[in-house]
Amino acid sequence: MEDTSENKQKEFKEELRRKDEEIERLRKENEQLKKDKANLEEEIKQLKKPKWAKPNKDNKKEKKKIGAKPGHKPNPRRPIDQVPNQEVVWVPEICLEGHGVLPFPLKWHEHTQIDIPVVQNIIVTKHKVGWSWCKGCKEYHGAVHDKLSYTKYGANLHAYVVPRRGTVLLLLPRKRIEIF
């Protein structure tokens, strides 16, 4: 019986010795890693940015205010006197905040755009955008669509005019230019 307890005691001491050796090895490794880390941080500090490198842009710029500058005469857009060729009605269907289906709109606003197809006939479209009240978030939600830009002119007209800035006046008859 004494042999088994002595054997267990020897095994325990041997296991304890192995654990101590492992702890000591890990301490040395940890110290070496700390030294390596300090060396790398010092190298990074010493590395200079190239002359062409610029600091990151600050995205906290103020948005441009809408309207005339103080002291300047405002230049509001003239309403389009042409009868629309087509009318599109936008009705919001679901609350963007996740409160479910919205009822039929209570408020409306109109937004008229001038656009030109490839054959250069003017298409005037009146967009009626519905605004519905959401009981969940107590706000009006509008039917927003990616095709509806917030300018007086449609996507086709923008796509046509931008590449041809200097020649657009030559391509359109004078009567059509006056609308703009």
pTM over 0.75: no
Q: What is the pLDDT of residues 2-21, one digit of tens each?
A: 578 888 888 889 999 999 99
Tokens representing 13?
A: 């001491």
Determine whether 40 is exposed, middle or buried from the number of CB atoms within 10 Å of its CB (0-12, 13-18, 19+).
Answer: exposed
Tens digit of each residue's pLDDT (9 = 90 or more) over 55-68: 666 666 677 777 88
Stretch 171-177: mean pLDDT: 48
Average the pLDDT over 137-155 and give the result: 76
Q: How far is CA 140 from CA 49, 89, 97, 110, 130, in A?
A: 50, 17, 11, 16, 10
User: Is the model more confident about 139 or about 46?
Assistant: 139
Distance CA(24)–CA(15), nearest Å, equals 14
Q: Residues of the chain with pLDDT > 70: what percent?
A: 73
Does the pLDDT value for residue 74 go beyond 50? yes
Q: Which long-range contacts (CB under 8 A, 24 or more apart) does 155-158 make?
A: 155/115, 156/115, 156/116, 156/117, 156/118, 157/114, 157/115, 157/116
pLDDT band of residue 174 (cuts 50, 70, 90) is very low
What are the extents of the domains in the chain?
1-50, 86-179
Provide the token pair at 148.
């509806």
Least confident of 31-40, 44-53, 99-108: 44-53
Average pLDDT of 76-85?
Answer: 80
The mean predicted confidence, pLDDT, of the chain is: 79
Residue 132 scores a pLDDT above 70 = yes
For residues 87 and 128, the answer to whether their CB atoms sit within 8 Å is yes
DSSP class of 133: E
Q: Is 62 helix (H, G, I), strand (E, B) or coil?
A: coil
